[in-house]
Structure 1
Amino acid sequence: MGRVLAIDFGTKRTGIAVTDELQIIASGLTTVNTKELVQFLKNYINKETVELFLVGEPKQMDNTASESEVHITKFLSKLEKEIPEIPIKRVDERFTSKMAFQTMIDSGLKKKQRKNKALIDEISATLILQSYLYSKK
């Protein structure tokens, strides 16, 4: 079994989370400069077996696509061309940033640490991945 890698795409930074090989535990991996994202993913899959890319799908409250979907669609086209052997699945990511921020508060991070947007992106990717794992059960 390979890992599932979740991507919380952003125009500047992208949060990444990954499962263990048995796809039981979701863990934050890192935050990557979005311009370097495809190369990072190529390097990662050369070291680890990844069976699925999970990409957050931001939606408005009325279920329409958010403004950032335009950027995500371009990224997905590039990802499919560069790494065609790994399938891509989309997952609703509404509220993950708010939930990530609340997680930081609940875990006792100080105000200065909670301003770390890279950490919020990584936690958001982890929440996307965790919701996917729950939905599989």
Structure 2
Amino acid sequence: MQHQKKDKHFIKQPIYAGGPKAMGVFISSHLQYPPEALQQGIEGTVNIRYAIDQKGDVVEAKVISGLGHGCDEEAQRVVKLLKFDVPKTRGLRVLYHKNIHVHFKIPVPQSSPPSAEIQYHYTQPTPAKEDSPTPPPAGYSYTIRF
């Protein structure tokens, strides 16, 4: 008789679909830099502890260490948008607690490429009227130098 290997954990943790890289991409795409922090030049990291319910929704987000100037509220807003995949918990209603670091860095202004607009102005020259025709030269001349 062979024994089956038991799971290491009785209750399995929820995971974000796509892994940590996908979660980082989601956070960076939905994160909007607060205007007050942008004016003050505030950069740094906000640490948040959040709770995930049995459905995979973030039900609570609490700032552990923040920056202020609107960064804390923005980080909480983005964390509450996260949706996790929760494995079956045998009918138990479990809250999972996790921590996350949300980084705020002032975006570098992108230099706009020079305008590709080209304008052409075409003016048609008016032909000059000749009062008297000039006579063509009567002969040829050659100069030889030594």
Q: TM-score if structure 1 supplies the norm length?
A: 0.25
Bigger Rg, structure 1 or 2: 2
Comparing both structures, which one devotes a greater share of its residues to strand? 1
Comparing both structures, which one devotes a greater share of its residues to helix? 1
